[in-house]
Amino acid sequence: MPEVNIRHLDKIYDGGVQAVYDFNLDIHDGEFIVLVGPSGCGKSTTLRMVAGLEDITKGELVIDGKDCTRMPPKDRDIAMVFQNYALYGHMTIYENMAFSLTLRKEDKMVIHRKVMAAAEILDLKTQLNKKPRQLSGGQRQRVAMGRAIVRNPKLFLFDEPLSNLDAQLRGSMRRELMLLHRRLNATIMYVTHDQTEALTLADRIVCMSMGHVQQIGKPIDLYDHPANTFVATFIGLPPMNMFNGKVEGGDFVCDWFRYPLDERQLKALEGYDGKEVILGVRPENIVKDGPVSLSVTNNENLGMNTLVHGKVAGQKNIVCKFAEWSHYKFGDEIRIGFDAEKVHFFELPSGEIPGKALL
Amino acid sequence: MKKQLSANEQIIANDVMRYKKNTLASALALLGLVFNCLYFTVLYAMPKSEFTTISIGFSVLLTLVVLLTIFLSSEGVKGYNKKFAIVLLVVAVFQILRIFYYPLMGIRDNLLIDADSLHTIGYFGYYPHDSSAFFFTLMLVYLLASAACLIASAVWGWIVADRLEKFQAKLDSGEADVMEAVRQLNAEEEAQNKNNAQAAPLKPAEREVQ
């Protein structure tokens, strides 16, 4: 499997709308890269530029040492799996999977071997004589993957392949995708807006917003050390709670509470005394019994944990995730605190630029 | 010369049939149907012939049955069904028997037809005005061609269906294992590719390095 180098990629559509700004990424051999971000952030456009379905306005795309920037899609040796499967309804599953090889006029014995090998990997052997309409959504998506696998491409591209499936099926398909990646040791670029998919599948995540790359890193890095307020709020479910405030005399002070900073935090916030910053804390890093008062507005027991929604000082909406089953009622007043090790600080966002992480 | 297949390759070649239709047998049957159509376009284009009697109605009915049977049988042999190969064979025999009715009757009795008023898609071009036998011979040729196609379709359909039946029995008994054959062939191919890569002559730049 090859390396993929994407350098300074820009996409500007006719009319001047820029969808992608200076996208840089080196994808290593066998790596699973997930592009994640909200709708319209440019992740699919980036993927389509790599596939050759969109022209690259500026920048360079190198696959396996070969410059593919202006190369037509068919010569890039890339296979793409789409959200809507894109299967041929009048063909059987076997014919669908064999189609690209038939077009290449490969020997029918070779085609058969490749199709059977892919069908075994994807557990589709018993479905090969059926038509796509006779299969479930998950099976159809597996067929679409099979069609990509038989080509043995240098790079697999997945454009939100699980978005059409129900939650349960999405979970099982995620596990299948992980197994598939391990089995094929394939280099994969995967686009999704679902952060669960991103966190569970990726070797590295590329988090995007408004055409800009916000952070590239391992899932745990994005989760534990978000580079800015956008990544902090986008990655993690429920999202991180953010409090706008000021650093004042060794404390973080906001409209709703005063939070004493420890030595590590003070060091990170050096030079910010008197300046406005944002304190971020994930719902699971909020602990019971602390200095902050929370007025409960909702209590959601999810079985393995409880989400408690409430208002800090009766004003600021936040959500807490407690490991144990809770039975709070609307209006209950509880005391909460923050796990000091897991509290984040950010600069204030400036216009559309998210606030940079300070700690 | 046709390449001799190894045991594993033979398994793969047979297994392909389980997922691909027998399009050759089907196409031959449909070609037989086309020749049959050409036959009746000539026959029914004879407005003032001796044949415009009540028997022509029966002939039309028969033609419709033959057309339908051939079409259904072509679908049958496409799906490797032996029974339809037999049906095609029966229809082929019937087509041959038909030669002995209208076409031969026309030639033998030297029936005259009004060639100028004969407009048919069954024949284009020059025809001899002095001999109506030309058209009856044409009908005979169409019926023979139809029968030949149907026989070829039936024979090929039977052979391939029989091969698939035997292969399926082998699969069911565990005598043949497709995935094992695929794995072994893939491993052989990989080894072959490795050998080829090792045996490949070095590029000038690589030679310099060495």
Question: Under CATH, domain A4-233 is a member of which superfamily?
Answer: P-loop containing nucleotide triphosphate hydrolases (3.40.50.300)
Percent of chain A with pLDDT over 90: 65
Q: Read off the pLDDT of each residue in B35-48 and give the average, rounded to a whole number.
A: 81
CB B73 within 8 A of CB B80: no
For chain A, give the number of residues.
Answer: 359
Residue in A closest to B19 by C-alpha: A129
Choose the weakest-confidence range: A44-48, A74-78, A164-168: A164-168
What letter represents residue A160's amino acid?
Answer: E
Residue A238: is the preceding peptide bond cis (ω within 30°)?
yes
What number is the average pLDDT over the span A130-150?
92
Q: What is the pLDDT of residues A340-357, one digit of tens each?
A: 899 999 998 877 778 888
Q: Is A103 on the interface with B (CB under 8 A)?
A: no
**Does residue B201 or residue A16 have the better pLDDT?**
A16
Judged by CB atoms closer than 8 Å, whether chains meet at A113 and B179 is answered as no
Mean pLDDT check: name the lowest of B51-55, B74-78, B98-102, B110-114.
Answer: B110-114
Does the beta-carbon distance from B19 to A120 stay under 8 Å?
no
* A262 and chain B in contact, CB less than 8 A: no
To the nearest whole Å, the CA of A120 is away from the closest chain B CA by 8
B7 located within any domain = no
CB pair distance less than 8 Å for A116 and B182: yes
Domain positions in chain A are: 4-233, 239-347
Residue B115: which domain range? 20-173
Higher-scoring residue by pLDDT: A184, B209: A184
DSSP of A313-340 = TTTEEEEEEESS-----TT-EEEEEE-G
- For residues A268 and A356, is the Cβ–Cβ distance under 8 A? no
- DSSP letter at A267 equals H
Residue B209: what pLDDT?
Answer: 46
Q: Which residue of A has its CA nearest to B184?
A: A113
Q: Is residue B199 part of a domain?
A: no
CA gyration radius, chain B: 27
Residue B118 has pLDDT above 70, yes or no: no
Residues 16-55 of B with CB under 8 A from A: 16, 18-20
Examine residue B65 and state whether it is found in any structural domain, yes or no: yes
What is the tens place of the pLDDT at every residue in A242-252? 999 999 988 99
Chain B CB within 8 Å of residue A196 CB: no
- The first and second tokens of residue A64, run together, are 């396996």
| Residue B163 is assigned to a structural domain of this protein | yes
Question: Mean pLDDT: which of A253-262, A292-301, B68-77 is highest?
Answer: B68-77
Q: Is residue B191 part of a domain?
A: no
Strands (E), chain A: 4-12, 18-27, 32-36, 58-63, 66-67, 78-81, 155-159, 188-192, 204-209, 212-217, 241-248, 251-254, 258-260, 276-281, 286-301, 306-312, 316-322, 333-338, 344-347
pLDDT given at position A122: 86
Three-state secondary structure call for residue B126: coil
* A112/B9 CB distance under 8 A: no
Q: Given an 8 Å threshold on Cβ–Cβ distance, is A116 in contact with B185?
A: no
Residue B125 located in a structural domain:
yes
**Structure token digits, residue B4:** 């001799």
Strand A344-347: give its sheet, edge to edge: A258-260, A251-254, A241-248, A276-281, A344-347
Q: Is the pLDDT of residue A63 over 70?
A: yes
- Its CATH architecture, for the domain A239-347, is Beta Barrel (2.40)
| Choice among A217-226, B165-174, B183-192 with the minimum mean pLDDT | B183-192
Taking 90 as the threshold, does the pLDDT of residue A89 lie above it?
A: yes
Residue A307: Cβ within 10 Å count: 18
Residue A337 pLDDT more than 80?
yes
User: Does residue B98 form part of some domain?
Assistant: yes
Shortest distance between the Cα of B189 and any Cα of chain A, in A, equals: 10
* Nearest Cα to Cα of residue B41 among B59, B25, B14: B59
Give the C-alpha separation, A242 to A220, whole Å. Answer: 20
Count of domains for chain B: 1
- The answer as to whether B158 is a domain residue is yes
